[in-house]
Structure 1
Amino acid sequence: MERKKITLEDIKKMKQKKQKITMLTAYDFPTASLIDQAGIDMILVGDSVANVVLGLKSTTEVGMTEMIHHTKAVKRAVKYAFLVGDMPYESYQTNPEESVKNAKRFIDEGCDAVKLEWFDKCPQVTETIIKAGIPVMGHIGLTPQTADQLGGFKVQGKDADAAKRLISQAGLLEKLGCFSIVLECVPDLVAKQITEKLKIPTVGIGAGIYCDGQVLVTHDLLGLFERFKPKFVKQYINLSPKILEAFKKYKEEVLNGEFPGPEHSFTIKKEELDKI
């Protein structure tokens, strides 16, 4: 069966059909190409690029310049997946007009939608962007851009009042027109309640099995980020030691004169060499 580009309607219908949604992050052409080939439904050009690619301590340290740079690279590779651009810190918290301008930039570069983390003025900004015709994915629970205000990188919604706030936020985002919501670091049974209440799909990261879909940071899944490993990450392969071994082998072969071999070299005819 011929693959087709996944659309906004496809994502919505997946919940109706109780078909799980898969999502991964990508920041470069080759990785995005492999994710797309694997049949992953959605790709997020995440602001996590700050941590896992650029070596920064916080996602708040990247802006529109970096995010658009990586979005362009990913878009060149993606043929089928639904592409979401992660709006960076201060690109949508300033004023609604600037938010629309920045969101539109992601769409202009080939994204199908943008993602916004919850903050105090999130409803107004979300509504403004959606009214401008730009699909928005919400993000509640642990919101890394404002984690300090939440007491650090901790599970959110662990008591009744906090859980009720999350349920309320999710309902409001759906009412405003979000097509989907990311639930990050939320107790599984709280995520279950939210998922059951909403008509739009939930995509969990550290939010248990009951969400309509799952997302992971690709570098965590592949074992390429060694600074820390969140509890919710399943490492499907540990590539770091394998890559390190390859680098060491390369160095060894260069030093020993094993590389490059004849099969990696080009030749010139003897009569041409004699003319030099």
Structure 2
Amino acid sequence: MKSILEFSRAKREQHPIVMIAAYDALMARLVAESEADAILVGDSVAMVVHGHPSTVHATLDMMCTHVAAVRRGAPDFMVVADLPFLTARRGRLAATEAAGALMQAGATAVKIEGVAGHEDVIAHLVESGIPVMGHLGLTPQSVHQLGGYRFQGREPAEAERVRAESRRLQELGAFAFVLECVPSALAASISAERAIPSIGIGAGGGTDGQVLVLSDLLGLDARFQPRFARRYTEGHAVVLEAINHFARDVRTATFPAQAEVLA
């Protein structure tokens, strides 16, 4: 995909949307060569790449650096970038400047967590020509307020809040929204009600698309295995064996071979 118009067409044609979260040029190039539709430069980069305990540690400079790297790796691909912690809460001017910086770094669109308290920001960004993707359910930037990474929408009041927020996002002009860690029946019914597509993560198969972090689907982190993230290869074991193979070759003087030595 190259534009938000293709998201709308995918929804109309019932073509499931495939998003991959990636953070650097090499991985972006691999995704761009694949059958995936879009790249998300998530604020999860603070955890996956920089080793922080939560996404609240992502900064605008950090996000811009990774967006620019991803754009260089995937120059013609749809790239959605997260607005980092508190960005949408500092008012329209600050949010517009931050979103503008992400767009200038190479983003096609920005993603904003939640709705309440910054509806005016979402509307202003859309009116300013900046495509906005919403994010509902489990919103990691609010992890401390939520009391941890807890499933959302099980209680009727919570479910109705998520449903109402999805409706409001559509009214405000968002082109799509992520539904994270909500009951599958709720996600499916919300997706059926909305004209804009939903992208699920831990929300069952009834959404209009799915998103996973590339390192999760590659199985690169043996210590992090969320239930919703299917491993499509055991990358941790593959990479570890390659490194150990190299170490053995060095120690047995079988690397470099004569053909690998520059004259």
TM-score greater than 0.5 by the shorter chain: yes
Partner of 1:13: 9
Partner of 2:30: 34
CA distance in 2, matches of 1:153, 1:184: 10
Q: AA paired with 1:182? A: V
C-alpha contact 2:216 2:229 (8 A) present in aligned 1: yes
* 2:80 aligns with one of 84, 88, 92: 84
Decide which moves more: 14-23 or 218-227. Answer: 218-227
CA distance in 2, matches of 1:119, 1:202: 15
Match status 1:105 vs 2:105: no
User: In the TM superposition, what are the counterparts of 1:1-276 in structure 2 within 5 Å?
Assistant: 6-118=2-114, 120-267=116-263
Decide which moves more: 54-63 or 174-183. Answer: 54-63
SS of 1:83 mapped into structure 2: strand
Deviation at 1:119, TM superposition (A): 5.4
SS of 2:110 mapped into structure 1: strand
Deviation at 1:174, TM superposition (A): 0.5
Q: AA paired with 1:155? A: F
CA distance in 2, matches of 1:148, 1:248: 40
C-alpha contact 1:85 1:115 (8 A) present in aligned 2: yes
Q: AA paired with 1:28? A: D
Deviation at 1:189, TM superposition (A): 0.5
CA distance in 1, matches of 2:234, 2:119: 40
Decide which moves more: 55-64 or 72-81. Answer: 72-81
1:123-182 CA distance string (max 9 Å, x none): 122112112110000000000010221221111000111100100000001100000000
CA distance in 2, matches of 1:235, 1:142: 22
- Structure 1: runs of 5+ lacking an equivalent: 268-276
Deviation at 1:224, TM superposition (A): 1.2
Q: AA paired with 1:197? A: E
Deviation at 1:52, TM superposition (A): 1.2
CA distance in 1, matches of 2:224, 2:6: 35
SS of 2:121 mapped into structure 1: helix
Deviation at 1:208, TM superposition (A): 0.6
| Count of equivalent residues | 263
C-alpha contact 1:40 1:81 (8 A) present in aligned 2: no
CA distance in 2, matches of 1:249, 1:145: 40
- Structure 2: runs of 5+ lacking an equivalent: none
CA distance in 2, matches of 1:262, 1:220: 38
C-alpha contact 1:22 1:215 (8 A) present in aligned 2: yes
Partner of 1:272: none
CA distance in 2, matches of 1:250, 1:178: 49
C-alpha contact 1:62 1:88 (8 A) present in aligned 2: yes
- Taking structure 2 as the reference length, the TM-score comes to 0.97
Deviation at 1:91, TM superposition (A): 2.2
Deviation at 1:85, TM superposition (A): 0.8
Judged with a 3 Å threshold, the aligned counterparts in structure 2 of structure 1 residues 167 and 60 are, in CA distance, closer, same or farther, namely same
Q: AA paired with 1:52? A: V
CA distance in 1, matches of 2:208, 2:197: 5
What's the Cα RMSD here? 1.2
SS of 2:52 mapped into structure 1: coil
SS of 1:210 mapped into structure 2: coil
CA distance in 2, matches of 1:226, 1:117: 28
CA distance in 2, matches of 1:13, 1:225: 35
Deviation at 1:225, TM superposition (A): 2.2
CA distance in 2, matches of 1:102, 1:221: 30
